[in-house]
Amino acid sequence: MKAAIFDGLRRMVVREVDKPIPKEECVIIEMKRCGICGSDLHAYFEVWEQPSYASGHEASGTIVECGPAVKGFKAGDRVCMEWFAHCDHCRYCKTGDYNLCDNLQCTSGIGPAGFAEYIVAHTSSLFRIPEGLSFEDAAMVEPLAASCRAFRRSAAGPQDCVLIVGCGTIGLLAVAVSKAAGVSQITAVAKYEHQAELARQLGAHNVLRIDSEPMGVPLAADAVIETTASVSGVRLAVQAVRKAGCLVLVGGFHAPVEVNLRDVVNKEIRVFGSSCYAYNGLKRDFEWSMDLIASGRVPAGRIVTHRFPLADIHQAFEVAADKSTKSIKVQIYS
C-alpha cells in the first residue's frame, strides 16, 4: 500500500509499504478522508518528533479487516476514530477520563495512521459514522471533539461572554460550539482575514484582528478559550478573563510560556487544561460532536478549504502551512 512518511524538515514522502495485519483488538480501515492537524504541521517543521509510521489522526474510512479479538465492529462498518487507544483498566479510564490513561498509545504508534491507504486502529478509539454523514464530515468529528471538550471545561452558559483566542480549526470550531450552546456574546481573536470572516459566519458576534486591534485591552470575558499556545495568546487570555472567570488552555504547547501569574491570583481566575476528549457526562465528546455535525448545528464541513489526493500530500502540507492560500482545514483522500 501507499503511505506518506515524514522525512525531515518540510518533507513528506509517499512510499510503498506492507499492508498491515490486524492484531487482537485492532482493525484495518481503508482511509477515505484525513485532515492535516496543527500537530502534524509541528512534526512537518520538526518542532515535534516525526513518527516512523504514517501519521494523521483526523481520519474516517471503512473497516476492511478485523483482528481475532475484535467485538462490536465488522468489515464494512464506516468509522472515524480518536487519535489514541486506551486501556479501560487504569484509574483514569475507570472514571471516564480516558484521555489521561496511564497506558495511552497513539494510533501512529500502533501502525500506519490516516496518511496511508490503510489504517491500523484499536477498537477503543472507534466510532460508527451515522448514515447520511459523509466521510469528509466524519473526519471533522475529531477536531470538533477537542473544541467541544474545551468549551464544556469552560462551563460557559447562554448568559455568558466567551472569548476564543485563535481562529485556526480548534478556535473556529469552538466558536461554532459556543453558538450551538446559545452563548449570548462570542468574541474571537483572529490573525488572518479569511479566518475572521469564517468566525463571523460560524457565529462570532465580534472578531478582533491581531494586526489591527489593541490586544492589551482587557475584555472582561466570563470564559476564555486559548487555542494558539503562544506567549501573546496566553497573555491576552489572562488579561481578558474577568475576576473569578475561567480560562481554558487547549493549544498544543511545544515550549515553555512565560506569563505573569499575578492576574491569576488577584482575579482568582480558574485555569483548566483541556486535552483531546473523553467522557462529558454520560456521553463521550466524540458522541456529542457527531450529534452536532449530523444535526447541522455545527457546520464543521465549512472549515474544509482544500482537498488533495494522498499522492499530492507534500503539496497539501505546503498549502496547510501557508496561510496566504487561505487554508484552514486541508484534507487528504485516497
- Over residues 183-223, the pLDDT tens digits come to 999 999 999 999 999 999 999 999 998 865 545 555 799 99
Instruction: Domains for the chain: give ranges and CATH numbers.
Output: 2-139+299-333 (3.90.180.10), 147-273 (3.40.50.720)
Q: Which three cell numbers stand for residue 158?
A: 447562554
Binning pLDDT at 50, 70 and 90, where does residue 108 land?
A: low
CA distance 7 to 13: 6
CB 1 within 8 A of CB 310: no
- Average pLDDT value for residue range 17-46: 95
Residues 6+ apart with CB under 8 A from 197: none
pLDDT in the model for residue 200:
98
DSSP symbols for 158-224: TTSEEEEE--SHHHHHHHHHHHHTT-SEEEEEESSHHHHHHHHHTT-SEEEETTTS-TTS---EEEE
Q: Is the pLDDT of residue 107 over 80?
A: no
In this prediction the pTM is: 0.96
From residue 249, give the alpha-carbon distance in Å to each of 8, 227, 306: 29, 7, 28
- Average pLDDT value for residue range 134-160: 97
- Average pLDDT value for residue range 168-187: 97
Percent of the chain with pLDDT over 70: 97
Q: Dihedral, CA atoms, 172, 174, 179, 180, nearest 10 degrees?
A: 120
- The closest of 329, 316, 322, 328 to 14, measured between CA atoms, is 316
Determine phi and psi for 176, rounding to 5 degrees: -65, -40
